[in-house]
Amino acid sequence: MALMSYAMSDSWTMVRRNVRHITRYPSMLLATVVIPALMFLLFVFAFGGVMGKGLVGKDAGTDYVDYLSPGIILLALVMAAMSTSVSVAMDMTKGIINRFRTMAIARTSVLVGHVVGSVVQALVSVVIMLAVALVAGFRPSAGIGGWLAALGLVALLSFALTWIAVAFGLAAKTVESASNTPMLLQLLPFLSSAFVPAESMASGLRWFTEYQPFTPIADTLRGLFLGRPIGNDWIIAIAWCLGIALVGYLWSARLFKRDPQMT
């Protein structure tokens, strides 16, 4: 019982440490918002006219800004995950982590601090992205329930991506490689139905797009925001999130438990 409550209070201490880092140095947060926001504006106002005409199947006739807005959230989350990897890798190079390791505290609290801090940061950037989208003409028709479900899925995805990002950050030998590994992750939203429908892609790519996690997640979010039927996409989306989170957590815990690499 005491052990459990120490684990909780240590985690809470670490969460406050990470949130303080973010509020003291908000440039990281800004960087993760600016790129998806610019890309969003570029896609909507420069390419949107053409791309909107290309929407096929169940999306035919949808305004491109309405099609893209739920998808751009995925890009914002992936960008946030990248900044998590970098900040974890940077933190691991600092002596303070070794100090934590020589103290009688719950070991995973260090990671929990990073995860919760990063999820909070990611959700802030999602709120900013949504505000940009609404100003740009995004008109979701979801009711209160749809909004809550959509934000719940966003939070769950953010949690999952953050655990994977933490593992990338721990596995990276240098801070530079920590910023490179998640690049692959960053490509995934582009190769999903976030920007254009899978049906419009070349056949090989289309197969990949249909089976990768971001497509059911993007489709579910779009369905929730636009008040459309989502079929069983939401089950697949949640299963992917839980699976990614579990893998990320187990991998991170394992990496953090091994002896630190000494130079």
Partner 1 sequence: MVTTPPPAITALGLRKSYGDKIVLNGIDLDVPSGRIWSLLGPNGAGKTTMVQILSTLIRPDAGTVHVAGHDLAKDPDAVRRSIGVTGQFAAVDEMLTGEENLLLMGDLHHLDRRASRRRANELLKQFDLEDAGKKVASTYSGGMRRKLDLAMTLVGNPRIIFLDEPTTGLDPRSRHTMWEIIRGLVANEGITIFLTTQYLEEADELADRIAVLDHGKLVAQGTPDELKSLVPGSHILLTFGDITELDAAVRVLGESARDDQALTLRVPSNGDLGEMRSLLDRLDAASVVAKNLSIHTPDLDDVFLTLTGRPAAENEAENAEKETV
Residues binding partner 1 (CB under 8 A) = 6, 9-10, 13, 17, 20-21, 24-25, 94-96, 98-105, 259-260, 262
Residue 159 near residue 115, CB atoms below 8 Å:
yes
Q: How far is the CB of 255 from partner 1 (least distance, A)?
A: 15
User: What is the phi-psi region of residue 227: left when phi exceeds 0, alpha when psi lies from -120 to 50, beta otherwise?
Assistant: left
Please identify, using beta-carbon distances, which residue of 25 and 207 lies nearer to partner 1.
Answer: 25
The three-class DSSP label of residue 108 is: coil
Residue pair 114/91 in contact (Cβ under 8 Å)? The answer is yes
Phi, psi angle pair for 139, to nearest 5°? -125, 80
At a CB cut-off of 8 Å and minimum separation 6, what does 176 contact?
Answer: none
Contact 44, 62 (CB under 8 A): no
- Phi, psi for residue 177 in degrees, rounded to 5: -70, -25
Minimum distance, C-beta of residue 91 to partner 1, in the bound complex (Å): 9
Minimum distance from residue 256 beta carbon to partner 1 (Å): 13
Q: Which is nearer to partner 1, 18 or 125 (CB)?
A: 18
Q: How far apart are CA 88 and CA 200, in angstroms?
A: 38
Shorter beta-carbon distance to partner 1: residue 97 or 171: 97
Q: How far is the CB of 132 from partner 1 (least distance, A)?
A: 28
- CB-count exposure of residue 259 (10 Å: 0-12, 13-18, 19+): exposed
Shortest reach from residue 105's CB to partner 1, in Å: 5
Q: Which two tokens stand for residue 171?
A: 């596995």
Q: Minimal distance in Å, beta carbon 52 to partner 1?
A: 44
Q: Enter the tokens of residue 96.
A: 């303070």
Minimum distance, C-beta of residue 12 to partner 1, in the bound complex (Å): 8
- Residue 89 host element (H or E): helix 64-92
Q: Judged by CB, which is closer to partner 1: 88, or 230?
A: 88
> Given the complex with partner 1, which of 104 and 144 has the nearer CB atom?
104
Residue closer to partner 1 (CB basis): 229 or 259:
259
Q: Which is nearer to partner 1, 109 or 192 (CB)?
A: 109
In the numeric block, the tokens 């491109």 are attached to: 64
d(CA 44, CA 64): 7
